[in-house]
Amino acid sequence: MGPFRAVKGVQDVLPPDVFLWQHIESIACDVFRAYGFDEIRPPILEHTEVFTRSIGQATDIVDKEMYTFTDKGNRSLTLRPEGTASVVRAFVQNGMHTLPSPQKLYYMGPMFRYERPQKGRQRQFHQIGVEAFGISDPKLDAEVIAMLMELLRQVGLGGLSCEINSLGCSKCRPAFREVLVKFFTPKLGSLCTDCVRRHNENPLRILDCKVPGCIKERKGAPAATDHLCGECREHFETLQILLNDLRVSFTLNPEMVRGLDYYTSTAFEVTSTDLGAQNAVAAGGRYDNLVKDFGGPDTPAIGFALGMERLVALLSDKAVSAEAPVLDAYVVSIGKEPVRKGLVIAERLRMKGFRTEVSYGSSSLKNQMRRADKLGARYVIIIGEDELREGMLSYKRMSDGASGKVSASEAEGLLSTDKNN
RNA sequence: GUGGGCGUAGUUCAACUGGUUAGAGCACUGGAUUGUGGUUCCAGAUGUUGGGGGUUCGAGUCCCCUCGCCCACCCCA
């Protein structure tokens, strides 16, 4: 291999895979539109502080996974590792809080994290995400979660379950943290080294550790949901009632902890055991303090992000694929003048919306036919000296070999007759 | 950042314990007498065996380094 290889951890999405990507994106747009979400297209590049101040200085993402560089104007810039921070920045910068509330936005595009690639984890990966601002009512939480499940259902992943939890707000979380620290302090000796560190930095994470010893030690550990303030508890309970009303199946997972610091209150996650170690398909939650932290007015918000590569992997496992576009016509021509005429005919068909290919070389009729077959053309249009003289076109329907002669305008009718779907 | 597995034509794979010009299927290009595809037959092109160094009379095969891919830890969508 020469020097021109894709960068480690990034990959090309080629046909026919890209058809599935387009299919998913198209369904996502439709679903989001139905729920009242509009698209926002934030830049991929942001000032580094946008991420350090939101995701959290002590998180792995900020600590060691960001693509950060200094530009020629001596600014520290970063390729976005996630979407929420950019959308919040845009929301604040553009004064979107003055627009009717709630503001509901969605985005899709590449994210960048400098990690060791493995199954379901690339350095450039793609997310579809949504963010809704301005409403603290759990109705919004329920709506957002229901929308996510509906999106998954429509792309062909019905039956996945959603786990939910509440992390508490700025009022009740500090107290819960204290309770946790107290619970684990006598067990420090039996926890893994990472969890000993977490005990100081972010004790919530101990609940998420996968080391068997730690799993054992946290039996009987206090659950966040038992230490919520009255407001948070009511919010969480109402959310569950609403999800039941909406027939969204979910399970409570008091051990679920989100990895980004800005999350508060409601947290949710959709996972699949078919994904290997990186099992989260989509995840999200509330971040009621983030807009304020970015210098905007105190504005509650909630969102989620869905991993495209992981979703595509799950769908591929289930043999879900999107069909390649059908080639309506292949124009075969023999002779110098007919080739020119063929281009004109093809152009005309294309303007009518028929996917049309022409043969570019001047190979034999047999070869051109062979090519038409290989491309899966529904019809072959043949132009030779005879057709040119008669002002007609020969055609052949590839499905059954039926052939005949038609005028150019009749050809259009022919192509549309059994153009199904 | 730390482990483990793996790198041979576009692709899927071959090549006995190191031994002559590294092979095959699929795919690709062309052909099988005069203007009609799918099956069949014939022919053709393509690799510095990921890269570099070493051992050897001789390395795709053994050793070292490096790069990449895959999986896991970690972390996350």
Domain layout of chain A by residue ranges? 17-172+228-317, 329-414
Average pLDDT score over residue span A67-93 = 97
- What are the start-end ranges of the E strands in A23-136? 38-39, 45-47, 67-70, 76-79, 103-112, 124-133
What topology does CATH give the domain A17-172+228-317?
Answer: BirA Bifunctional Protein; domain 2 (3.30.930)
CA angle A69, A86, A267 (to 5 degrees): 120
Q: Which nucleotide is nearest to A278 (CA to C1')?
A: B76
Task: State what percent of residues in chain A have pLDDT above 90.
Answer: 66
The pLDDT value given to residue A217: 81
**pLDDT at residue A54 is higher than 50:** yes
Contact A14, A64 (CB under 8 A): no
The pLDDT value given to residue A209: 75
How many Å does it take to go from CA A7 to C1' B56? Answer: 37
How many Å does it take to go from CA A3 to C1' B33? Answer: 49
pLDDT digits (tens, 9 = 90+) for A163-213: 999 999 888 888 888 888 888 888 888 887 777 877 877 788 888 777 777
Class of domain A329-414 (CATH, top level):
alpha beta
Q: Which residue stretches of A110-192 are H helix?
A: 138-155, 173-184
The pLDDT value given to residue A3: 64
Q: Which nucleotide is nearest to A306 (CA to C1')?
A: B77
The pLDDT value given to residue A420: 55
The pLDDT value given to residue A1: 47
Q: Which nucleotide is nearest to A383 (CA to C1')?
A: B35
How many Å does it take to go from CA A1 to C1' B7? Answer: 11
Burial class for A214, CB neighbours closer than 10 Å (0-12, 13-18, 19+): buried
Selected residue with higher pLDDT from A418 and A327:
A327
**pLDDT at residue A139 is higher than 80:** yes
Q: Which nucleotide is nearest to A261 (CA to C1')?
A: B76
Question: How high does pLDDT run on average in chain A?
Answer: 91
How many Å does it take to go from CA A6 to C1' B64? Answer: 27
ipTM: 0.88
How many Å does it take to go from CA A3 to C1' B47? Answer: 17
Average pLDDT score over residue span A144-153 = 97
Residue A359 confidence class, pLDDT cut points 50, 70, 90: confident
How many Å does it take to go from CA A102 to C1' B4? Answer: 50
Chain B bases closer than 7 angstroms to a protein Cβ? 1-3, 28-32, 35-38, 48, 50, 67-77
